[in-house]
Amino acid sequence: QVQLVESGGGLVQAGGSLRLACASSGTIEGINVMNWYCQPPAKPRELVASITNGGSTNYADAVKGRFTITRDNAKNTVYLQMNSLKLEDTYLYLCSAGGTWNGHQNYYWGQGTQVTVSS
């Protein structure tokens, strides 16, 4: 089992910045990728950014150049630095951990943290 706890969301004006954090605990040795997703209302979750154990990153086109995903292995924490925020970035943001445990691939999810961008 892996537990994920997100933090750092809130209300920010357009053009502002936020830094989200996702702290992981439990059997984290099986994790090989950490992801941030956003949850549009009544739609499937969308991948925002991901980072592998090797440090390779991937971003959705909508956030390239504005968001940065990083990880602090000593703290078992992944961050999403969100700059130049836009109204359309308003979502619930969820952290997920993907990996292999006992020979099976699995994903774990946090509860999410709300980001609201105002004009």
List pLDDT tens digits, range 98-111.
999 989 999 999 99
**CA neighbor of 89 nearest in space, from 15, 29, 7, 5:** 15
DSSP 8-state secondary structure symbol assigned to residue 6: E
For residues 16 and 117, give the distance between their C-alpha atoms in angstroms, rounded to a whole number. Answer: 8
First to last CA, the chain: 40
Query: Phi then psi for 113, rounded to 5 degrees?
Result: -135, 135
Question: Mind listing the pLDDT tens digit for each residue in 50-101?
Answer: 999 999 999 999 999 999 999 999 999 999 999 999 999 999 999 999 999 9
Q: At 46, is the secondary structure helix, strand, or coil?
A: strand
Q: Is the pLDDT of residue 41 over 90?
A: no
